[in-house]
Chain A
């Protein structure tokens, strides 16, 4: 793979690359995480001027919003965009493209071998700079930083499969791999030594083994499979805010079934509960919501962990959905977000399949 050698750390190298693309007029705007030094915080920003990139921190190990979700409708604007996406954000975006809520047509995607992101609470307690330094240090050692989201530590898809530009960190800087003709074209004339190389497979294997072990342990420790009582233990704390679905990049419906008046104001159901159960727990319908959402989107879950971060009640939503999603996707040998050409399982079928049903 044609790759550019950079002595800069990966985040600085990508910042330079974004600035060059804007300066040369190769792109209209760039989507990147950004530091906000004045209040010790960070955000995700779409920027059009190279000078606006001063505070851009493309590889910031924080996900304030899933950029794949944010990019979804923006990518249909007709503008030429360059987006820095974590692998799960790219996979989420790919899932949105499959649902006609996004387009790769005028988009250059920049992704990287991802160490994971820290829970949003850590941004305020530690500050983005401390977190960025910790992530960079771990990347140099080829390790997963301690304290990242639990789904990140258990993520097996940390190397993007369909990015145009792929950045990998090493001990002496980074490599910018040009994976597609679009990347070659966009970066034609961009300076730096060119070599033929790919991300270190041995390093990836080592991290993958650790992540797989963490994944097995995370799922093993979940209080699931306890039937009805297990569900109550797991989701009993749910306050019914639906925050997990709002921040979910896969929950793409513009009008959510669970927000409809039909469910919220289901008076016959309330009356039946009073008559037959002797009461009703409020907010009601929380378990229906979680189980329903699982049937609607779990096979496309990319494991970004936004839902767990958003949950005010501390429910391990991402781990639970990731675990069930792994099983529903496996029914159809589906890997969410791997390839835009791979159809969403519920939109297609084979005449001969699932012959134990019916």
Chain B
């Protein structure tokens, strides 16, 4: 299987900043809370890292675990799911289901020796622009410490 593990050429996808490695984080944000929170961070002119790649979903429970795995295997250095705080879901209970699914995908990662620290779920409400910026900064810094996702260059995947 050694040949399958050969890394491909080039590092076209890697975004470099003055500090070296700049992570790419796929962020699945629910339309009603977290995406609006991200918007608020922007309109409030809060600074947060460029690493976050927002993807709007109608609800955090729309995020099938396969989305997270797909993002991870495609080379995302981190994968973030953002939803409404428990009790505040626009669809009443979607985020509770999202939490269970997240627990399952995290356990699958742990059971197979994959880095579950590259997955994160955060509750960010529409009024929490500062929290969004804070989560983005914290998570980016943690992922930067973890380094680039090795899946990014693995030819096999």
Mask, A262-287, CB within 8 Å of B = 1, is: 00000001001101111111001001
Distance (whole angstroms) from the CB of A308 to the closest CB of chain B: 17
Could you say which of A96-104, A311-319, A322-330 contacts chain B? Answer: A322-330
- In the assembled complex, which residues on chain A have CB atoms less than 8 Å from the CB atom of B5? 229, 232
Distance (whole angstroms) from the CB of B98 to the closest CB of chain A: 9
B123 in contact with A358 (CB, 8 Å): yes
Could you say which of B37-45, B66-74, B137-145 contacts chain A? Answer: B66-74
Count of chain A residues with Cβ under 8 Å from any Cβ of B?
47
Distance (whole angstroms) from the CB of A324 to the closest CB of chain B: 4
- In the assembled complex, which residues on chain A have CB atoms less than 8 Å from the CB atom of B105? 295
B111 in contact with A323 (CB, 8 Å): yes
Q: A295-B69, A351-B96 are in contact. Are A236 and B113 (CB under 8 A)?
A: no
Distance (whole angstroms) from the CB of B57 to the closest CB of chain A: 16
Count of chain B residues with Cβ under 8 Å from any Cβ of A?
51
A351 in contact with B66 (CB, 8 Å): no
- In the assembled complex, which residues on chain A have CB atoms less than 8 Å from the CB atom of B93? 349
**Which of B83, B96, B107, B152 interacts with A327 by CB under 8 Å?**
B107
Q: Is A292 an interface residue (CB 8 A)?
A: yes
Tell me the B1-57 residues at the A interface (CB within 8 Å).
1, 4-5, 7-13
Q: A331-B103, A349-B99, A354-B100 are in contact. Are A277 and B153 (CB under 8 A)?
A: yes
Distance (whole angstroms) from the CB of A316 to the closest CB of chain B: 14
With A and B bound together, what is the CA distance between A276 and B12 in angstroms? Answer: 6
Q: Is A189 an interface residue (CB 8 A)?
A: no
Distance (whole angstroms) from the CB of A91 to the closest CB of chain B: 19
- In the assembled complex, which residues on chain B have CB atoms less than 8 Å from the CB atom of A224? 111-113
Q: Is A346 an interface residue (CB 8 A)?
A: yes
Q: A233-B1, A331-B107 are in contact. Are A287 and B73 (CB under 8 A)?
A: yes
A277 in contact with B107 (CB, 8 Å): no
B151 in contact with A276 (CB, 8 Å): no
Q: A272-B74, A354-B103 are in contact. Are A279 and B155 (CB under 8 A)?
A: yes
**Which of B65, B106, B113, B121 interacts with A296 by CB under 8 Å?**
B65
Q: Which residue of B lies closest to A356 (CB)?
A: B103
Q: Which residue of B lies closest to A224 (CB)?
A: B112
**Which of B10, B110, B111, B151 interacts with A278 by CB under 8 Å?**
B10
Q: Is B91 an interface residue (CB 8 A)?
A: no
- In the assembled complex, which residues on chain B have CB atoms less than 8 Å from the CB atom of A284? 157
- In the assembled complex, which residues on chain B have CB atoms less than 8 Å from the CB atom of A227? 112-115
Q: A225-B112, A231-B114, A358-B123 are in contact. Are A276 and B10 (CB under 8 A)?
A: yes
Q: A287-B157, A288-B66, A332-B100 are in contact. Are A279 and B111 (CB under 8 A)?
A: no
A298 in contact with B10 (CB, 8 Å): no
A346 in contact with B8 (CB, 8 Å): no
Question: Could you name 18 residue pairs across A and B whose Cβ atoms are closer than 8 Å?
Answer: A233-B1, A257-B66, A269-B74, A275-B10, A281-B155, A288-B69, A288-B157, A292-B65, A323-B111, A327-B110, A328-B107, A331-B103, A354-B99, A354-B100, A357-B99, A358-B83, A358-B122, A358-B123
Interface on B for A, CB 8 Å cutoff?
A: 1, 4-5, 7-13, 64-66, 69-70, 73-75, 83, 86-87, 93, 96-97, 99-108, 110-115, 121-123, 150-157
Interface on A for B, CB 8 Å cutoff?
A: 224-233, 236, 257, 269, 272-273, 275-281, 284, 287-288, 291-292, 294-296, 298-299, 323-324, 327-328, 331-332, 345-346, 349-351, 353-354, 357-358
Q: Other than A275-B10, A298-B104, A345-B104, give 4 A-B pairs with Cβ distance below 8 A.
A: A277-B8, A288-B70, A291-B73, A349-B99
